[in-house]
Structure 1
Amino acid sequence: MTTPPRTTPHATEAVTAAADRLDRARRTGVPCAPVRDLLPPGDLDAAYAVQALLTGRGLAGGRRITGWKIGLTSPAVQRQLGVTTPDFGALLDDTAVPDGAELPWGEVLQPKAEAEVALVLEHDLGHERHTVADVIRATAFALPAVEIVGSRVRDWDITAVDTVADNASSGAYVLGTRPVLLRDLDLRTAGMVLERGGEPVSTGAGVACLGNPLHAAVWLADTLVRLGRPLRAGDTVLTGALGPMAEVAPGDVLEARIDGLGSVRAAFGPATPEGDAR
C-alpha cells in the first residue's frame, strides 16, 4: 500500500488557521467552510499537522486518547477523494458512548453512522512491519461498533485534506459489550446489517474493509510506528466501515449486527433549538 504522509506537526500560520476554523466549528456547533483553501493544495502532511494540533489541544484540556479510527478503507471512497491509502484519526475518551445510551442531538455535527469491527489490544504493536498474525496475537478481543462520523465542514463539502485535518471526520463511537476472541471469527466473510426500526439502512461484510478488517489494522500499526506513536495495549481500533454510511435524524435508534460479534445500538436524542443547526 502507498505510504501515508509524515505527520510531524509544524505549526505554520496556515496549519494554525485551519485548526482554529475547525475548533471554532466544534465549539459553536456551526459548521465551517472547508479548510483546504487555507492549506497547500493536496498537502496531506499539512492536514495531519492540523489534526495533531487539534488533538494536542484536546489533550491539554484534559481529554485522553483511547485508541484510533481508520477511515477511507473503501476503494470507492478512495477514488472519490483522490487517494490510494486509508487515513486515521484519534479516538478520545469523551467521544465514547455506552451501548444504547442516548447521544444528545447536536453533540456531533452533521452525523452519519457506520457499522465496524473494533479490536481491543492486549499487547503493543511496535514492529517496523507487522503481519496479520502479529495483530491477531496482540488483540485481546473484538467488539461490534457503530462509529458516528461527523464533519465540522459545512454540508460535508470535503476532500481528503479536509477530512484528515478534521480528525478523519471522527465524531463519537459506540462499542458492544460482549467480547469475542478472534479465533472464533472469520472477519473477512462476516456479514453486517445496520437497521433503523427494523429496516436495513446499510449492509456489507468484512471484505469491504480493505479485504479484511485485520488488513486495515496492519496498515494502522505500521503507520503509527513510522510516526513514533505505536499502538499500545488497551487501545481500541475502529478498523473501518463494513458498508455505506447511513443518514441519521433526531430520535433515531440504529442497531448494527455483525455475524459472530452480536449487536450494538446507537441512539440519538431529540432535536433541540440549540442543536437544530447541527
Structure 2
Amino acid sequence: MTAFTDDPRVRKGLETQLAERRRRIAAGEKPLGWKMGFGAPAALTLMKIPMPLIGYLMAGAQLPSGATVNVKDYTKPVAEPEVAVRLGGAVLPGFTPARAKACVNAVKPAIEIADLNIPPAPDAVEAILAGDIFQRHVVLGEAARAGGSIDGLTASIVRRGAEAGRTADIEALTGKIPELLVHLADTLAAFGEKLSAGDLVICGSVFPPPMIETDETEFAYSLAPIGDISVRFTR
C-alpha cells in the first residue's frame, strides 16, 4: 500500500472503475491500455493527491488521426495533447524508473478526447475515478519513435489555424514518464491488475487541458520530430 492507494477516495473510485473495466472485457470488449490524469503540480494540489489519477483505455475508443468526433452532448469537451508509450515488456510492481523505461518500445503523439462532466475538486476524486477520468476517445497516428527516449521532442498545438502553444519540456505538466509507469504498475498491482507488454499508456496533457470552444472545428497536435495528428469536431 502507498499513500496514494491507501486514500479511501482512490480505493473506492478505482474499485468501481476497474470492476467496470472487467465487466466490459467479459462482455467482449478489447482493452487498449491505461491513462494518467491530474498529474500537473497545480492539479495534484487542487485534488489533494500525491500522484496522478489512473484510468483505462478500451480499443473501441481509439480513433485514427483526422477522425471527427460529435461533441454535441458533451458537458465540456477537452482535447488533451499527450505522449503515448507502447510497452514491449511488462512493467512489474517494484521496478525502478530506469527498468520501466527499458520496457517502452515506442513513443508517439496522442490526443485524448474527454468530457469534463464533473467539476474537479478533492471531494470529487472518487466519482472522477469511477467514471474513468472523463475518458471518451484517444486519437492516434501511425508515426512513432522506437524505444523509450523523449530527448529532443517538441510539442505544439494548433487551434483555429494558428499555433496556440509550444514546449520542449514535455514532462513539465505530467511528471517523468518512467516514474509514471512505476506508479501505474504499483497502483494496478494493489487492485489485482497489471501493466502488460503491448499496453498503450497515455501520460497526461502536455499543455493545460484545452477546452474545445463552440466555434472550434479542428484541433492539431505535433510531437516533433515524430509526427502530427489531428481531430475534427461537429455538434
Determine if the TM-score, normalized by the shorter chain, exceeds 0.5. yes
Q: Does 1:200 align with 2:177?
A: no
SS at match of 2:198: coil
Q: CA deviation at 1:162?
A: 2.5
In the aligned structure 1, how far is the partner of 2:44 from the partner of 2:125? 9
Looking at secondary structure, tell me which structure has more helix per residue.
Answer: 1
Bigger Rg, which one: 1
SS at match of 1:53: helix
Q: CA deviation at 1:74?
A: 0.4
| Residue 137 of structure 1: aligned partner | 102
**Cα distance change, pair 6–227 in 1 and its aligned pair in 2 (3 A):** farther
Q: CA deviation at 1:68?
A: 0.1
**8 A Cα contact 2:113 2:136, kept in partner:** yes
1:119-144 per-residue CA deviation (whole Å, 9 max, x = no partner) reads 01111122x31223222321121111
| Residue 38 of structure 2: aligned partner | 72
Q: Does 1:190 align with 2:142?
A: no
Deviates more, 1:105-114 or 1:138-147: 105-114
Say which structure, 1 or 2, has more relative contact order (CA 8 Å, 6+ apart). Answer: 2
| Residue 19 of structure 2: aligned partner | 53
> Among 220, 223, 229, which residue is 1:255 paired with?
220
Q: Does 1:238 align with 2:202?
A: yes
**8 A Cα contact 1:148 1:170, kept in partner:** yes
1:33-53 per-residue CA deviation (whole Å, 9 max, x = no partner) reads xxxxxxxxx622112222123
**Cα distance change, pair 245–53 in 1 and its aligned pair in 2 (3 A):** same
Deviates more, 1:166-175 or 1:106-115: 106-115
In the aligned structure 2, how far is the partner of 1:91 from the partner of 1:166? 12
Q: Does 1:110 align with 2:76?
A: yes
Aligned letter for 2:204? Answer: G
In the aligned structure 2, how far is the partner of 1:260 from the partner of 1:136? 20
Q: CA deviation at 1:265?
A: 0.9
Q: CA deviation at 1:210?
A: 4.3
**8 A Cα contact 1:193 1:257, kept in partner:** yes
Q: Does 1:228 align with 2:171?
A: no
Q: CA deviation at 1:147?
A: 0.9
**8 A Cα contact 2:5 2:190, kept in partner:** no
In the aligned structure 2, how far is the partner of 1:183 from the partner of 1:119? 8
Q: Percent identity?
A: 24
| Residue 4 of structure 1: aligned partner | 4
Aligned letter for 2:108? Answer: L
In the aligned structure 2, how far is the partner of 1:4 from the partner of 1:238? 19
Alignment gaps of 5+ in structure 1: 8-41, 272-278
> Among 50, 55, 61, which residue is 1:89 paired with?
55
Q: CA deviation at 1:184?
A: 5.7
In the aligned structure 2, how far is the partner of 1:130 from the partner of 1:66? 22
**8 A Cα contact 1:194 1:256, kept in partner:** yes
Q: RMSD across aligned C-alpha pairs, in angstroms?
A: 2.4
| Residue 90 of structure 2: aligned partner | 124
> Among 164, 173, 193, which residue is 2:129 paired with?
164
> Among 210, 215, 219, which residue is 2:179 paired with?
215
**8 A Cα contact 1:213 1:240, kept in partner:** no
1:178-225 per-residue CA deviation (whole Å, 9 max, x = no partner) reads 120236631xx6332221133234444323144422322222122223
**8 A Cα contact 1:72 1:240, kept in partner:** yes
Q: CA deviation at 1:87?
A: 0.9
In the aligned structure 2, how far is the partner of 1:145 from the partner of 1:45? 28
**8 A Cα contact 1:82 1:160, kept in partner:** no
Looking at secondary structure, tell me which structure has more strand per residue.
Answer: 2
In the aligned structure 2, how far is the partner of 1:52 from the partner of 1:82? 22
**Structure 1-normalised TM-score?**
0.74
In the aligned structure 1, how far is the partner of 2:58 from the partner of 2:87? 16
